């Protein structure tokens, strides 16, 4: 099976099996799973810590692509496990949040601006 064709349900089943085989379910709860997401995301960010400009960050990505890919895997696993532990429907959460974000940042006012410039009223960004 092409991994890009796998559903979230299939990936979650694999993650659950991974935990079950190691008897690690006992260590998972919303707090520890949320903390794990932050820790793993910090490890991804650390790979780019000293790259300044956007161009430098793309150059850095090419140097650390393997490590970045591994961190993405860690983040996604932590994310899936948090959603499972918390009983959150990932697809619904995504679609609901995207609809709210579309309302908050309509194309007519948000196109070509950064989130913070809209949030803080900086029309010059």
Domain limits, the chain: 7-87, 89-125
Q: Residues 108-120, buried b or exposed e (16+ Cβ, 10 A)?
A: eeeeeeeeeebee
Per-residue pLDDT of the chain (125 residues; tens, 9 = 90+): 678 889 999 999 999 999 999 999 999 999 999 999 999 999 999 999 988 899 999 999 999 999 999 999 999 999 999 999 999 999 999 999 999 999 988 888 888 877 665 554 554 44
pTM for this entry = 0.83
Task: Please state which CATH class domain 7-87 belongs to.
Answer: mainly alpha
């Amino acid at each position: 099976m092409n991994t890009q064709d796998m559903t979230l349900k299939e990936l979650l089943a694999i993650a659950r099996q991974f935990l079950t085989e190691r008897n690690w379910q006992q260590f998972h709860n919303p707090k520890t799973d949320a903390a794990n997401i932050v820790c793993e995301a910090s490890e991804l960010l650390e790979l780019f810590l000293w790259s300044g400009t956007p161009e430098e960050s793309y150059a850095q990505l090419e140097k650390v692509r393997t490590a970045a890919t591994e961190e993405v895997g860690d983040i996604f696993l932590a994310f899936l496990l948090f959603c499972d532990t918390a009983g959150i429907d990932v697809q619904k959460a995504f679609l609901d949040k995207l609809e709210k974000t579309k309302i908050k940042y309509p194309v007519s006012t948000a196109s070509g601006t950064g989130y913070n410039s809209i949030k803080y009223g900086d029309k010059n960004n």
